[in-house]
Amino acid sequence: MKVEAEAYTLLLASILLLISGVRVHAISYDHSVTTECLVEPQRAQYEGGIIVNPGFDQSLRGWTVNGKGVIEVRISKEGNRFVVARNRTHPLDSFSQRIQLEKGKRYAFSAWVQLGEETGTVSVVIRTNRSELVRGGHVIAQHGCWTLLKGGIVANFSSSVEILFESQNTEVELWVDSVSLQPFTKSQWRSHQDCNIERIRKSKVRFQIVHTNGTALEGTTVLINQIRSGFPFGCSINHNILTSKDYQTWFASRFQYTTFTNEMKWYSTEIKQGEENYSIADAMLEFTKQHNIAVRGHNIFWDNPKEQPQWVKSLSSEELQKAAEKRLNSVVSRYKGQLIAWDVVNENLHFSFFEDKLGQNASAEYYSKAYKLDQKPIMFMNEYNAIEYSGDKAVIPEKYKKKLEGILSYPGSEGISVGIGLQGHFVSGQPNLAFMRSVLDSLATTKLPIWLTEVSVDKGPNQEEYLEEILREAYAHPAVEGIITFSGPAIAGFKDMHLVDENFRNTPVGDVVDKLLNEWKSGSVQAKTDSRGFVDVSLFHGDYDVTVTHPVTKSSTTLNHSVKKHTPQKIVRVHV
């Protein structure tokens, strides 16, 4: 018997009705639908959406065999029906269903999968009429229990396509149940983002203004000014900021969080072995301190063999171990207590330079040692393609989680603060927001902080539109705790996505960033107290100056107040 899944969201159906004019299912951030391996699968999300016979209760109606092999419906001991593909000879030998895609819609996919034996990766694949294969999501399936495969696609054309499944190990049976593909219009998707932003990024606050004798003051003016956002939304900087007053002014007037693009990396601070030079990074850090800008450290190591200092590439294993130990101690100790995060071993799902030279626990050891040197920063894994490209199996959520488990379980790593860094370098085409959300949903089950660390969109005719969609999707997701864009002024060399031109005039993508910076803050709010001295407001999380002016004497008092995530609503009493 399938278990009914509960939706974890407060999407207001009435808003969707007003916007779309049709009835739709709520778009779920899938925290309540467990990703653990279950004895029996849960029911299909959205009742299967546009999938015919999603739970195989009507045998194979709507489904056909894909490639060679045999497909059949089986029944579990509990009476649940599911489909099985056996006698397979090709990874795509499975079962398929033809569906109709509509241009411009986003399609959220899910299915419960299992392998007849062993463990392996299962993918959902969309095959177009031109036989193009588009992979929409992946999961590591096991034998003996059901695992949720989530993903999504975006329709760039209206056409019929086939939806099918892929498993590289052709010697094992592929089991699937509770298949769902739910379409959403762009306006429906945006409505849900807006609803969720209101729910997770703001809190209701009640102020009560009273006289010194305790009586309520009606008609008191309350002016609320936000002085710092509670959500880190920043932008990278590079060494050019040290020589350009315009760059400094432009940046400091907008951003309170940053990452240095290259200046802290090993190949920048030790070009020649034994000759360390932190002068540029030091000067940039001094600039950020003067303007109260928080800094993510990027990075201690980079696992890509091509991105090592030139002299490192020829070291023996013993020499590398000594050089890496010196590097870690040097850079972490130098900036101890001054950073909010470190990307410890950059891109160590795609690459394995240190693991190949020093053993499979090399990365885990560096996380542990960095934490022991400085316990203030969150120690991040930082990877590309996890949210921006659905075809990359190297960074599927299960592999990310497995690497994190290895870091956290390494001897001596007790108490380490670990974070998930998703770079977010998107190409110029339409971003697959449904896939992006599915990855965030899966990684959110770790309960670890997730940041988008290097967001950029390649040049294209819709660059600014796509950037806004990506940023809204990230900001609307409950698990995302920070966003840094890899961008800046044209004079600083940001050619693919510069926010201002050579004269520091906004580009279209710069307009998007400024618009969202303003939209995602409360700004200045003014209200008057009611007969009981109360003022009720909904405020974005952050720090505020609250000025209260007496209705008769016009005397005023100012206090500081912080509105934080997960803080229960309480009455803030102000005496005048």
Distance CA(165)–CA(147), nearest Å, equals 14
Active-site choice (166, 173, 347, 365): 347
CA distances for 256 relative to 228, 229, 244, 338, angstroms = 8, 9, 18, 14
- Sheet containing strand 556-563, edge to edge, reads 524-528, 221-229, 542-549, 556-563
List residues bridging with 418 in a β-sheet: 379
Residue linked to tokens 């400024």? 514
> Residue 380: CA atoms inside 13 Å, Cβ hemisphere, count?
28
Q: What is the dihedral of CA 475, 478, 484, 489, to 10 degrees?
A: 0
454 given a catalytic annotation: yes
Instruction: Find the largest Cα–Cα distance for the chain.
Output: 87
> Residue 438: CA atoms inside 13 Å, Cβ hemisphere, count?
29
List residues bridging with 447 in a β-sheet: none
SS3 178: strand
Residue 478's CB: how many other CB atoms inside 10 A? Answer: 18
Distance CA(283)–CA(77), nearest Å, equals 68
> Which residues, 6 or more positions from 290, have their beta carbon under 8 angstroms from its beta carbon?
none
Phi, psi of 450 (to 5 degrees): -115, 130
Q: Where are the beta strands (DSSP E) in 220-289?
A: 221-229, 233-235, 257-259
> Residue 411: CA atoms inside 13 Å, Cβ hemisphere, count?
0
Residue 184's CB: how many other CB atoms inside 10 A? Answer: 24
Q: Which amino acid is at 380?
A: F
Active-site choice (40, 383, 388, 454): 454
Distance CA(483)–CA(440), nearest Å, equals 14
**Where does residue 131 fall: left (phi above 0), alpha (psi -120 to 50 degrees), or beta otherwise?**
left
Label residue 290 exposed, middle or buried (CB < 10 Å: 0-12, 13-18, 19+). exposed
Q: Are 27 and 16 in contact (CB under 8 A)?
A: no
539: enclosing H helix or E strand: strand 534-540
> Residue 525: CA atoms inside 13 Å, Cβ hemisphere, count?
19
307 given a catalytic annotation: no
Phi, psi of 121 (to 5 degrees): -85, 130
Distance CA(333)–CA(29), nearest Å, equals 40
Distance CA(437)–CA(474), nearest Å, equals 8
Q: Are 222 and 527 in contact (CB under 8 A)?
A: yes
Q: Are 556 and 549 in contact (CB under 8 A)?
A: yes
Residue 520's CB: how many other CB atoms inside 10 A? Answer: 20
Q: Which active-site residues does the annotation give?
A: 347, 454
